[in-house]
Amino acid sequence: MDEPVIGPESEVPLEELLDLYGAVGWTAYTGHPEVLRKAIEGSSYVVTARMGDRLVGLARAVSDDATVCYLQDVLVHPEAQREGTGRKLVEAVLERYRSVRQKVLLTDDEKAQRAFYEALGYKEIRDFGEGTLRAFVRFD
């Protein structure tokens, strides 16, 4: 099969976003299309994977381009998973923010996601050991 084309994209049509986010079951986004649109527009960097015209993956970052880069959303259409696309999307974000030391992300506690992010050089807070780092999050 052909490889998807990976690259930055600043304006992704909302219909395509809804299809992709829907395909991985992210209803928190698809139930609020306006929030999804604003989230993409307000992101610091958006990278997509396309097979021809078809959107098959996306990763986005929120960053000050100096001290911190939050990776927020990495998703690959189920029909295109386990072919290295997720890795390439995250690598594109990491390359864009290579001068930023602190790279952070929050994700579900699932084995597959741990394996995915560890394969990309991320380490879970709990693995830094006692007395080193603590992570806090608040959902309102």
Ligand X SMILES: CC(C)(COP(=O)(O)OP(=O)(O)OC[C@H]1O[C@@H](n2cnc3c(N)ncnc32)[C@H](O)[C@@H]1OP(=O)(O)O)[C@@H](O)C(=O)NCCC(=O)NCCS
Query: By C-beta, is 37 or 87 nearer to ligand X?
Result: 87
Structural contact between residues 92 and 47, judged by C-beta atoms closer than 8 angstroms = yes
The closest residue (CB) to ligand X is 86
**3-state percent helix, strand, coil for the chain, nearest multiple of 5:** 35, 25, 40
Query: By C-beta, is 112 or 133 nearer to ligand X?
Result: 112
Q: Report which DSSP code applies to 129.
A: -
Residues interacting with ligand X, by CB under 6 A? 24, 73-76, 81-87, 107, 112-113, 115-116, 119
DSSP E strands, 13-134: 45-51, 54-63, 68-76, 102-105
Query: By C-beta, is 61 or 75 nearer to ligand X?
Result: 75
Instruction: Provide, rounded to whole angstroms, the least separation between the CB of residue 135 and ligand X.
Output: 15
Query: By C-beta, is 5 or 119 nearer to ligand X?
Result: 119
Q: How many CB atoms lie within 10 A of CB 116?
A: 17
74 pairs with which residues across the strands? 59
Instruction: Provide, rounded to whole angstroms, the least separation between the CB of residue 47 and ligand X.
Output: 12
Instruction: Provide, rounded to whole angstroms, the least separation between the CB of residue 84 and ligand X.
Output: 4
Instruction: Provide, rounded to whole angstroms, the least separation between the CB of residue 129 and ligand X.
Output: 23
According to DSSP, the β-strands at 68-76 and 102-105 are parallel
